[in-house]
Chain A
Amino acid sequence: MAYLETHGVGKRFTLHERGGDQALALSEVSLAIERGTLVAIVGPSGCGKSTLLQIMAGLISASTGEVCLNGRPITAPPFEVVYVFQQYTKSIFPWKTVWQNVAFGLQNRKGLDKTTLAVQCAEYIRLVDLAAFENHFPWQLSGGMQQRVAIARALACQPDVLLMDEPFSSVDAMTRAGLQDLLLRLWQEFSLTVVFVTHDVDEAVYLSQRVIVMSATPGRVVGDIPVPLAYPRDQLVTREAFEYIDLRRQLYQRIFPSERAAQRQVA
């Protein structure tokens, strides 16, 4: 039995309060995620990636099926799991400074004494390169900086399971590479279990041990591709490796089969 499992998870959203129109956002998603693995989920916009991740985080309930953590069905947000919102601007608190935002997760998780908390907080703020902005409010930061606050807040907690919903969507390419390597380092150091949603196929291959491909209407899993590249990975060496390029091509073909076919016909 895997650490984190979804069994035939489906989600139906009611579009009007009175009932009636319903939209099937997810259908029959069954996944088994082993403890300590790093799994990426890719798929087109609106295919239900965020919905799936929030169900796994215990934030919304599944319409059908269930999610189990360590064999126990999830009914409320489990202590072991932290979800990083795609809507990072709304998820960090405007009345807290950068420091207070990062400390928020830590304060509410374990009985850390004040000094340990301060040290750990400062450490993670430094890791996402925001040391100079500790006392700034979110509205004094750029979008990418706000996103790094949300990442630091989640990482600082060192949860067993980290569910990240497009966490690097708003940072520039340089910062993104740094954050990717930071995530990999922490993942190995603390043997986290990470499920990572991204639009970026390259990022999925670079980071993960396994890429899950979803398709839309209704959202379902259409591919589950192992990534047998060795760790530690390197932004240059790994991305130039033949296996990397090959996997990347396979994934693109999986995700955009029709467009590839159309392109070939044109050519």
Chain B
Amino acid sequence: MKLGALLQSRMSGFALLVALLALWELSVRTGLVRLVSWPAFSSIVRAWFKLIAQGEMLRHLGHSLERLALGYALAVAAGVLLGLLMGYFPAIYNFLEPVVEILRPIPSPAYIPMAILFFGIGDRMKVFMIVFACFFPILLNTCSGVKAVDPVQVNTGRTFGLGSWQILRQIILPAASPYIFTGMRISLAVSLMLTVIAEMVAGNNGIGLFILLAQRSFRVSEMYAGVITLALLGYVLNVVFVQIERRVMRWHVGATTMETR
């Protein structure tokens, strides 16, 4: 394959990834870098497979995924519902907007101490953290999506005899769905972040805790193995998300590519 063609294809990105990993491996093998904190990539991979085989990694992963899924699902439900109401009913918007604008800019880790006071250091605290952080991007995107719905679409619903709730469900929700998915995509990344932070701050299991403990006991390869698990998890979550989005939003993909043609 010529270099030009390689750069055009998706393979080029993959090639870069492989090259970087090879460089990492070589930096250790050639003795260029001699640091305890910088083990060879191959030893990390070995540690990773060992941890998988022992079931330890999967156990932590399971705990992390569980709270991530619960927190994310609750945030999506609450964010979409409230976003629809705020976008559609000006009274609700005016009522809630100041509170939202005050709470939203608080960096998530800042309310961990408070969350611990209220919920202890168990799962409830972690799920609360995830919900709280994931909620706002979904809420605000849903809200803007609702506001961007063309009045002609709403009035079409009205002339065919739909009531407010039917318009909300049958017209506003699908019309705003591109925005809703944008918010959900942002929050997916946030949910992973908050899961790890919460587990590191106060936890008895989960990938976050695993990484922290590995670092504290100088099991450096295992620490990196945990990080790599997170990279893979993030990647897989995103792929799954995109697949679902593509399926649900089939109409939108077509509609937008047609417009730009």
Contact = CB atoms under 8 A, between A and B. Distances in A.
Given A83-B159, A108-B166, A94 B171 contact: no
A87 B152 contact: yes
A157 interface: yes
B161 to A, nearest CB: 5
Interface stretch (A2-10, A74-82, A207-215): A74-82
A85 interface: yes
B179 to A, nearest CB: 14
B160 A157 contact: yes
Contact of B150 (A59, A77, A90, A137): A90
B171 A93 contact: yes
Contacts of B175: 93, 95
Interface residue tally on A, bucketed by range: 20 to 34
Interface string A112-147: 000000000000000000000000011110000000
Interface string B136-160: 0000000000000010110111111
A109 B258 contact: no
A104 interface: yes
Contacts of A105: 160
A85 B156 contact: yes
A137 B152 contact: no
Contacts of A58: 158
Interface residues of A, dominant DSSP: loop
B162 A90 contact: no
B252 interface: yes
B255 interface: yes
A81 B159 contact: yes
Interface string A35-48: 00000000000000
Interface in A38-68: 54, 57-59
A93 B174 contact: yes
Name the residue in A79, A82, A91, A139 with the highest tally of chain B Cβ atoms < 10 Å from its Cβ: A139
A59 B159 contact: yes
A82 B258 contact: no
A8 to B, nearest CB: 24
A85 B170 CA distance: 19
B249 to A, nearest CB: 8
A82 B159 CA distance: 5
A94 B160 contact: no
A94 B156 contact: no
Nearest to B259: A139
Nearest to B251: A95
Contacts of B161: 77, 79, 108-109
A108 B255 contact: no
A127 to B, nearest CB: 19
B155 A85 contact: yes
Given A79-B161, A93-B171, A108-B160, A137 B153 contact: no
Nearest to B163: A108
A90 B153 contact: yes
Contacts of B170: 104, 108
Contact of A108 (B162, B177, B252, B254): B162
A79 B162 CA distance: 9
A155 to B, nearest CB: 13
A80 B252 CA distance: 33
19 contacts: A54-B155, A59-B159, A76-B158, A77-B158, A79-B161, A87-B152, A90-B152, A90-B153, A93-B171, A93-B175, A94-B255, A95-B174, A95-B252, A108-B162, A109-B161, A139-B251, A139-B254, A139-B259, A140-B254
